[in-house]
A and B are shown apart, each in its own frame.
Chain A
Amino acid sequence: MTVNPSGWRPSAPANEQGEAQTVTGNRALMLEEPLLFEIGSTEQTGVDFAEMPRAATRLGGLERSRQIGLAGLSEPEAVRHYTRLSRQNYAIDLGLFPLGSCTMKHNPRLNEKVARLPGFADVHPLQPQETVQGALQVINELAFWLLDLTGMYGVAMSPKAGAHGELCGLLCIRAALEARGDKREVVLVPESAHGTNPATAAFAGYRVENIPANPAGRVDLEALKARLGPDVAAVMITNPNTCGLFEPDMKAISDAVHTAGGFVYCDGANFNAIVGKVRPGDLGIDAMHINLHKTFSTPHGGGGPGSGPVVLSEALAPFGPLPFAAKYPDGSFKLVEEEHAADEHPNAFGRMVAFHGQMGMFTRALAYILSHGADGLKQVAEDSVLNANYVLRSLEDVLEAPFGQSGPCMHEAIFSDKGFEGGVSTIDLAKALIDEGFHPMTMYFPLVVHGAMLIEPTETESKASLDQFIMAVRSIAERAKAGDQSLKAAPVHAPRRRLDETLAARKPVLTYREPEPAQAAE
């Protein structure tokens, strides 16, 4: 065994910053953690089982003979392994996480508590319906509030995340078009859209065409109108858009698309800016997904699970997927599945997931909505927009704000790298922010702004937190404009320096392989 199995050894008495190295590679509270497979063994376990009953096997002669190679840890080792790993992550619980378009806001712990109530957490999806009336009521209540907040006609609750919701919306559109015998092949997507929009349209069998933005960062209405025609199935619009701007022509866009026989899909990723203030249904939108893990604060969990219910207009609602929870006049709830589809939902396009959607996210989102109420949600939108504009106006003298002249932003503020000198770019500013104790903003997105920096502070940041962030960005922006080459070395205080992504992609190592015996004996 070696002292530091992570493979890294201190090779010099001090690193570039002149800090003394340690024998272990640890630095006080910053603890190196080897891979599970380097510290565990196939004979170790953290779970005790009662005496094994003796029984003949009925495994069809397929008993496993080879070792699987699963390393185990005792409970104290396992808790320490994951706790040490956790401390190498930045998180919203630690500080400002201003990723534009991602809505990293505080995750209330009440929501974690209610999701773990046995009546929600320990219920099987195929239990007889009389035993899951409370679960169906949760789905139904959440659906009701989502419809209230969006002014739409129906909602599909089963999609598993935003992109899955986009897919659901486009499949509704496709089903509606096919029902009227209308073959359309093209979906129009603005250049500034999230990558999921064109990917989803392609996944649903459509050809994707871009529509340009105007100099004010909005959809070019005239260019859009000129492209509309009998081949256009849908237009996918993000509103507020990915430049953090409201599309003031939204109703005119919807009207033009409808006149041309198409449908309007709205990417609801940025709904946080307008929740409780504007109802998408009043803007002529036909379908919009809602990321419960953004606007309604179910935890991101390091990349999911999410949840992407899709609200639908009267024209699209009949085509929504199965199954869904329906309320009956006697107060009971029913899960409408395939067998009742002919009576209750004859035009449904089918099932998108095995079961009924992200129940664990529904309970959290419902608790979030009930906690805030009508007044609290309105305040959410207002404070998120206020915080973003405060950041915009506090930084626009040091960073170029390409749309700053055209008025206020919504819940996120966008800047470019214009004026950076000496080859310093957006990524260098972002990595220097890590050293200052902040998660960087969204970088290089949307593509329509050079070296884009998209900052979404959210409403759960205090003014003091924003002021500290603004101070850090201002300082780094000045250094970037002065061409300070030390920015290219950032971060220096994080658990790792910049990682070689090219090497990772050129020679992919995607699973652990035990070293050859000669090396292991080192």
Chain B
Amino acid sequence: MRYLPLSDPDRSEMLRVIGAGSIDDLFRDVPEEARLKGPIEGLPMHASEMAVERHMSTLSRKNMVAGDVPFFLGCGAYRHHVPASVDHIIQRGEFLTSYTPYQPEIAQGTLQMLFEFQTQVARLFGCEVANASMYDGSTAMWEAIVMSHRISRRNKTIISSGVHPHYVSVARTMAKFTEDVLETGLPDLTAETDAERLIASIDGETSAVVVQYPDILGRIADLTAIAEAAHAAGALLIAVVTEPVALGAIRSPGEMGADIVVGEGQSIGVGLQFGGPYVGLFACREKHVRQMPGRLAGETVDAEGKRGFVLTLSTREQHIRREKATSNICTSSVLCALAFTAHLTLLGEKGLRQLASLNHARACEAAERLAAITGVELLNTSFFNEFTLKLPVEARPAVHAMVGKGVLGGVSLGRLYPGIDALQNGLVVAVTETASDEDIAALETALKELVQ
């Protein structure tokens, strides 16, 4: 077996050193009746690299590849061009096959990279500090809710109806098992967000208000008034960003007063990968850092006075604090954080702004053309690279019909909010720099044929 270096003579010699008669002697603590007598049933025997690759290739070909067709899906995962050097960097064995940097003297590469990642995330979100990553955006949002609970010592959280419904589902799941009370609702198909309703529902019991920016329908609203209302009531504002490229074009949530900003980092450096692995982003105010979940890289010096980096403030974490930890998280998403930071370094401020402008311009162009189709209405007055169309027909069957025409035409609100009649005609369309003129024309043609 190509992955196992021991030879049979090695094994015999090692058993002799150990003083065991056979390998089974080493398993003698396992009760006889629980030990399998031979190779487990059901699984085939070992296979060559070629055979395994052939099987996996066959499975992969059963999927429609986003890059092969006109593609307009978003809603929490975005298709951007990732420079070839990013994948080269994350495949360096010293990054790919290293462990959590517990031995800082021989892990400065990962630690410095994480320190740079934290700085980039904090600056992008307009916050003072950021951690070294979470699993994904949805779990980061739940962690922000319970972190607010610890800070405010209140347990009621108001979640905007513009937050991704799957993120809300995750929070609902977790809240069933904690003391947290969640107030949330369904979005209205209007150009305005629910900012006013959120402000009206804040009271002295409120721990935090959660808003998504841009929201699930692509709308962008100023968060300043919500932040002020939350702070006046002693509550925190949590902002959720599922498309961080947007922050190359629009103001950061931190600038507008958000206390905790969390997000999904997938759209920078990490591919679509059918939903994972992704990378959760988590940033907040410096004064709350001891309530943060997850790992933190910090600067220090070594015994010779040289600058170096270590994992720090670990007294928040499970391996030190056990049941009193701020979170149970251990493994996070460091390799995806590396992809994120490498891509963002290649972009730089200049490149990120260009990328954001290009996305917005493509989306504006597509929105204009699609809204000109008779019967199709553009919901948004504001958007970045994603907007919602109101179709004269149900959007979910329309999406399937477009697949028949070789177009992945968007995410229907029927998929995200099944059974909600008022939302059935909504289609969320994301247009990134990867959409060509021909792609947009193909979507336009496909939609026209469907609604006429």
Contact = CB atoms under 8 A, between A and B. Distances in A.
A137 to B, nearest CB: 5
22 contacts: A47-B83, A58-B381, A59-B250, A72-B348, A82-B342, A86-B89, A110-B53, A119-B59, A119-B62, A161-B332, A198-B318, A200-B318, A282-B33, A282-B34, A301-B336, A350-B170, A358-B277, A360-B277, A367-B52, A386-B11, A408-B20, A501-B312
Given A52-B354, A134-B62, A278-B36, A60 B273 contact: no
Nearest to B396: A128
A70 B30 CA distance: 56
Q: Which 6 A-B pairs have the closest CB atoms?
A: A72-B348, A355-B275, A119-B60, A301-B335, A60-B382, A134-B62
Nearest to A376: B46
Interface stretch (B69-77, B203-211, B441-449): B69-77
B187 interface: no
B277 A248 contact: no
A36 B118 CA distance: 12
A64 B247 contact: yes
Interface stretch (A90-98, A224-232, A417-425, A478-486): A90-98
B40 interface: yes
B217 to A, nearest CB: 13
A204 B325 contact: no
A46 B49 CA distance: 36
Contacts of A251: 31, 34
Contacts of B362: 53
B67 A118 contact: yes
B60 A386 contact: no
A130 B108 contact: no
A122 B271 contact: yes
A185 interface: no
A86 B318 CA distance: 28
Contacts of B353: 64
Contacts, number: 740
Contact of A508 (B90, B132, B312, B352): B312
A211 B25 CA distance: 29
Given A87-B94, A199-B323, A202-B324, A503 B381 contact: no
B152 interface: no
B328 A128 contact: no
A199 B327 contact: yes
Interface residues of A, number: 211
A451 interface: no
B92 A83 contact: yes
Interface in A12-58: 15, 33, 35-37, 40-47, 49-50, 52-58
A434 B173 contact: no
A35 B116 contact: yes
B104 interface: yes
Given A148-B42, A351-B166, 5 more contacts: A47-B354, A59-B382, A110-B49, A160-B139, A302-B107
B408 A124 contact: yes
Contacts of B416: 126
Contacts of A338: 169, 418
Nearest to B312: A504
Interface stretch (A257-265, A310-318, A460-468): A460-468
Interface residues of B, number: 217
Contact of A373 (B44, B73, B133, B314): B44
Interface in B409-442: 411, 415-416, 418-419, 433
Contacts of B302: 496-500
Nearest to A349: B173
A372 B3 contact: yes
A40 to B, nearest CB: 6
Interface string B295-328: 1111111111111111011110111111111011
Interface string A386-406: 110110111000000000000
Interface stretch (B119-127, B154-162, B226-234): B119-127
B165 to A, nearest CB: 9
A171 interface: yes
Contact of A321 (B30, B173, B307, B344): B173
B67 A79 contact: no
Nearest to B66: A122
Given A94-B93, A107-B96, A53 B361 contact: yes
Given A132-B64, A148-B40, A278-B36, A60 B276 contact: no
A371 B120 CA distance: 40
Contact of B350 (A45, A201, A203): A45
Contact of B327 (A87, A203, A499, A500): A203
A288 interface: no
A47 B352 CA distance: 9
A164 B52 CA distance: 29
B39 A378 contact: yes
Interface string A107-149: 1101011101111111111111011111101100100010011
B138 A354 contact: yes
Contacts of B4: 376, 379-380, 383, 459-460
A69 B330 contact: no
A428 interface: no
A463 B10 contact: yes
A512 B115 contact: yes
A46 B108 contact: no
Given A86-B109, A321-B173, A497-B302, A511 B129 contact: yes
Given A91-B94, A359-B274, A385 B300 contact: no
A72 B346 contact: yes
B45 A92 contact: no
Nearest to B179: A205
A334 interface: no
B56 A163 contact: no
B318 A163 contact: yes
A250 B34 CA distance: 10
Interface string A218-261: 00000000000000000000000000011010110000000000
Residue with the greatest number of chain A CB neighbours at <10 A, chosen from B46, B56, B90, B102: B56
Contacts of B44: 370, 373-374
A382 interface: yes
A134 B36 contact: no
A196 interface: yes
Given A123-B65, A351-B169, A371 B272 contact: no
A304 B333 contact: yes
A102 B99 contact: yes
B273 A63 contact: no
Contacts of A339: 418-419
Nearest to A8: B306
B358 A49 contact: yes
Contact of A92 (B98, B120, B352): B98
Nearest to B173: A350
A416 interface: no
B103 A304 contact: no
B91 A112 contact: yes
Contact of A52 (B115, B120, B357): B357
B237 interface: no
A73 interface: yes
A463 B354 CA distance: 54
B348 A70 contact: yes
A276 interface: yes
